[in-house]
Amino acid sequence: MTLATEEHLRLLPKVELHCHVEGASRASTIADLARRHGVALPADNPADLYRFTGLNQFLAIYDVICSSLRTADDFRRITYEALEDGAAAGVRYREMFFSPGFVIRLGVDVATVWDGMRAGLLDARRDLDIACRLVLDFDKPSGVAHAEAMAEFAGAQDRDLLIGMGADSVERGIDHRAFAAAFESAARLGLHRTIHAGEDGPVDNIAAAVHELGCERIDHGFRLLDDPVLTGEIVDRRIPLTVCPTSNLMIANVIADLAEHPLAEQRRLGVLATVNSDDPGMMQFDIADEYVAVADAFGYSLEEMEQISLDGIEASWAPDEEKRALRARFEREFGELRGRFGLSARV
Ligand code: ADE
Ligand code: ZN
């Protein structure tokens, strides 16, 4: 068994399928934008805000962070910087969430958000070695009319830039089945579909997502193993989970130690469970840190970490040809890195 060093895991080429643009924003950028717009943050250094003891408190801080985002250029900047930081963590392909519900309620139009993010994405495609598509997450507590409006908006954009619709924010007390019509609209408009489910809420929300909302992926899925029959179905249908282990520890606070996380058991049972960071700016913990933490918590070999990276390609919504090219590139880079660190070739 080959164990990888931290440096090796940071350089490993990766796919990231669960990362929020707003949650990836740098504390220094939020401080700068708040100053420019005359928004008073509750702490001089936004990094001091990034302490939370559960999902609800985290989302309250997310609200504060989003109050600093006003103009299209603000959204361009945080999108571009999130991709710069992703590239530095070894991400070669990312499907990144954005959550307009947080700023729509402050009077910012979704078109302003999209214009800025689209520009940031296009600039990053030109400058950086990271491919990215965006996924619009509607805000579950904002209700079904908001969900439907977000499906219609997302459906009208360029599918190569905006590839899917998801949903985030609180889970407890939300009737997930109420969003069936919005997800049906998204499907009709050719959008891929995913949803945050089973993060700090019950496994029944995962069942609803798969059976009634037509979701193709599940974001988090921490509670999946509570339902062995559903687990079997998820394995058989290769429905991916975008797991965020350290987020579950730091944000949802559903485990006290990473080694308690069900990721290893999910993967052992054959679930296509990928590894992601969720909100790397707000957690000050990126996907490279996450790979190091996961390898350490579960004693994973370099081979297993390479497989986790390849599983991200399978779980992505990239076109088949792009997936083939990514696989070939990752295999080549795995070999180059092994050579550089004096390790034997992958078998
Ligand atoms: N938005 C950003 N991160 C989130 C999370 N972990 N759960 C729900 N909504 C979120
Ligand atoms: Zn998330």
End-to-end CA distance of the chain: 11
Phi then psi for 278, rounded to 5 degrees? 80, -80
How much distance in Å is there from the Cα of 183 to the middle of ligand 1? 19
Per-residue model confidence (pLDDT) at position 74: 98
| 19's tokens | 């990362």
- The CB of 168 under 6 Å from ligand 1? The reply is yes
- pTM tops 0.85: yes
- The CB of 22 under 6 Å from ligand 1? The reply is no
Structural domains in the chain, sorted by start = 16-340 (3.20.20.140)
In this prediction, residue 268 has a pLDDT band, given cuts at 50, 70 and 90, of very high
Per-residue model confidence (pLDDT) at position 263: 99
Q: Which of 284, 285, 286, 249 is nearest to 45 (CA)?
A: 284
Ligand located closest to 171 CA: 1
Q: Which of 260, 252, 175 is nearest to 225 (CA)?
A: 260
Q: Where would I find the H helices in the chain?
A: 6-11, 27-37, 55-66, 72-88, 101-104, 110-127, 143-155, 180-188, 204-211, 228-236, 245-250, 263-268, 280-283, 287-298, 302-315, 320-340
pLDDT digit string, tens, across residues 135-181: 999 999 999 999 999 999 999 999 999 999 999 999 999 999 999 99
How much distance in Å is there from the Cα of 277 to the middle of ligand 2? 8
Per-residue model confidence (pLDDT) at position 43: 85
Atom of ligand 1 nearest to the CA of 168: 9
Query: Which residue puts its alpha carbon closest to atom 8 of ligand 1?
Result: 169
pLDDT digit string, tens, across residues 115-128: 999 999 999 999 99
- Would you please indicate which residues are annotated as catalytic (active-site) residues? 199
In this prediction, residue 50 has a pLDDT band, given cuts at 50, 70 and 90, of confident
- Is the pLDDT at 46 greater than 80, yes or no? no
